[in-house]
Amino acid sequence: MIDPGRVDALARLFDNGLRGPGPGDELPPLWHWVALPRWPISSELGTDGHPSCGAFLPPIALPRRMFAGGELTFHNRLRVGETVHRESTVDSVTEKQGRSGKLVVVVVRTQLFKADGGLAIDERQDLIYREAGAPSAEVASVADAAQFRPVGAPFHRAGEWTWDFAIDPTLLMRFSAVTANAHRIHYDWPYATRVEGYPGLVAHGPLMTLALAEVLRLEHLSGRLTRLTHRNKTPLFCGQPARLHGHRTPYGVDMDLFGPAGGPHTSLTIELQQEGTPLPDGVEGRVPDSMTGY
């Protein structure tokens, strides 16, 4: 069931002035990631907090798991409170050699069907497994970590189609809870820095992607969402400033989340169909970014 409580929890976390969707309302883009959580039993968890590989995902020894991106095609609207049927399969497992060493790309396909059997969402997710990094020389001290304060509402308008997005440890913890995500890099500072070698707590890939998608609601964009592609390029760490920026295109909207270094951390492409109009030429043939940059 598309859980109204989970939907309300995300609306409260975003706290962006928009009315939270209630029972019977249309589910906003990507909110099924929150509304359909799956809590594994405690004995299934691996060292990193994720379910151990081998039950559904293939057994992969590389310790760093990353939500790299994906693509969704929207066939029917989902509504809060309705019951759906979900089917997930592992489409492929590919070993690669990236700039940072050995990695494995796992592609998972998930389809959501409405109660009448009609396909609502056809989704592909790309998961990256990498070698652990050495402890970073940029790791914040305990004193630095003690300076974090809750940021309050994370969205702040900075211009046309431009929003600042702030994260703090409480926001990351609450998003972990609402998405049933026990991955320790998002809340366990010693593990994130000393075991996986990050300079601090890592912002969730789905959180950054959802933040970009939420700008569509904040800008009151009209039209029927037909396809969404997203890609997480580099991690964003707790306390780092982020800016969400989008611009209209002939087929919809392109959006990016920029971090302190200036380059995009997460990118999002939205394809829209205005009511009563055909899709623009070439939309059906658009190809997602390749995985070769990882």
Domain hosting 271: range is 4-48+60-285
pLDDT band at 282 (very low <50, low <70, confident <90, very high): very low
Indicate the Cα dihedral angle 72, 74, 75, 79, nearest 10°. 120
pLDDT tens digits, one per residue of 6-41 = 999 999 999 999 999 999 999 999 999 999 988 888
pLDDT for 275 = 57
Residue 294 lies in a domain: no
Total domain count, the chain:
1
Residue 180 lies in a domain: yes
Beta-carbon contacts of residue 215 (< 8 Å; ≥ 6 apart) = 161, 163, 244, 246, 255
pLDDT tens digits, one per residue of 43-84 = 888 888 877 766 677 778 787 888 999 999 999 999 999 999
pTM of the entire predicted model? 0.87
Nearest to 266 by CA among 220, 240, 293, 230: 230
For residue 204, count CB atoms less than 10 angstroms from its CB and return exposed for 0-12, middle for 13-18, buried for 19 or more: buried
Query: What is d(CA 140, CA 192) in angstroms, rounded to the nearest whole number?
Result: 11
pLDDT for 141 = 55
Query: What is d(CA 214, CA 220) in angstroms, rounded to the nearest whole number?
Result: 10
Q: Which helix (H) or strand (E) segment is 265 a member of?
A: strand 264-273
Residue 292 lies in a domain: no
The SS3 of residue 236 is coil
Residue 54 lies in a domain: no
pLDDT tens digits, one per residue of 167-219 = 999 999 999 999 999 999 999 988 888 888 888 899 999 999 999 999 999 99
Nearest to 208 by CA among 249, 172, 161: 172
